[in-house]
């Protein structure tokens, strides 16, 4: 696993945006079969949370997640099969819960402590590669949405955070699967 170069990112985004509807449906079906828990988390749970706040940005989120999935598939290969790493999503959920819970319950903490937790959340963990170009690109798609639509800042921040989590999950999935198949 490596951080995408500008050239890889450009070509992968070009590929993702060129997929026709029928091919896209087939890719989504295969994704759901290969990674059912990840699929449900991203395309049902996350999008529903965003959709409760703003339906249009939930649609942008879904489109962005599809493209992100296509980028990973184009650069890093086919989606790893659930059976290779069946406890992946359970472990990721526990890690995310540990990181996100203090931020969610942080209503009674100082702004300084809150900012520190946010910074830690968005910082690469030991051995983790952040896809900064990919994250930046999709943050820009959300900002672009904001120029054409009215949306409260907390929903924008939530959407960007969810996209960050999706990218982190895919990164971790591919990294763990590659490590498991090498040994």
DSSP the chain: --PPPHHHHHHHHHHHHH--HHHHHHHHHHHHHH-HHHHHIIIIIIHHHHHTT-HHHHHHHHHHHHHHHHHHHHHH-SPPPGGGSTTHHHHHHHHHHHHHHHHHSGGGS-HHHHHHHHHHHTSPPTT----HHHHHHHHHHHHHHHHHS---HHHHHHHHHHHHHHHHHHHHHHHHHHHHHH-
24-61 pLDDT, tens digit per residue, is: 999 999 999 999 999 999 999 999 999 999 999 999 99
Mean pLDDT over 127-147 rounds to 91
- The rounded distance, in Å, linking the Cα atoms of 92 and 98 is 10
Q: What is the pTM of this model?
A: 0.87
Per-residue confidence band for 93, with pLDDT thresholds at 50, 70 and 90: confident
Q: Is 20 exposed, middle or buried (0-12, 13-18, 19+ CB in 10 A)?
A: exposed
Closest CA to 175 of 47, 3, 37: 3
Per-residue confidence band for 130, with pLDDT thresholds at 50, 70 and 90: confident
Between 99 and 157, the higher pLDDT residue: 157
pLDDT at 182: 56
**Dihedral sign, Cα of residue 126, residue 137, residue 97, residue 116:** positive
Between 123 and 67, the higher pLDDT residue: 67
pLDDT at 119: 72
């Amino acid at each position: 696993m490596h951080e995408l170069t500008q050239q890889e990112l450009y070509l992968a985004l070009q590929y993702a945006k060129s997929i026709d509807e029928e091919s896209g449906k087939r890719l989504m079906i295969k994704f759901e079969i290969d990674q059912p828990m990840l699929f449900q988390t991203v395309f049902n749970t996350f999008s529903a949370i965003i959709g409760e706040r703003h339906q249009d940005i939930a649609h942008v989120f879904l489109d962005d997640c599809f493209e992100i999935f296509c980028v990973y598939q184009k650069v890093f290969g086919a989606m790893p099969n659930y059976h290779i790493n069946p406890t992946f999503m359970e472990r990721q959920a526990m890690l995310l819960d540990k990181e996100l819970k203090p931020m969610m319950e942080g209503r009674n903490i100082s702004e300084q402590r809150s900012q520190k937790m946010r910074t830690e959340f968005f910082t690469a963990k030991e051995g983790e590669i952040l896809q900064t170009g990919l994250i930046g690109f999709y943050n820009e798609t959300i900002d672009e949405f904001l120029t054409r639509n009215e949306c409260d800042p907390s929903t924008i921040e939530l959407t960007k955070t969810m996209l960050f989590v999706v990218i982190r999950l895919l990164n971790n999935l591919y990294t763990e699967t590659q490590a498991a198949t090498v040994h």
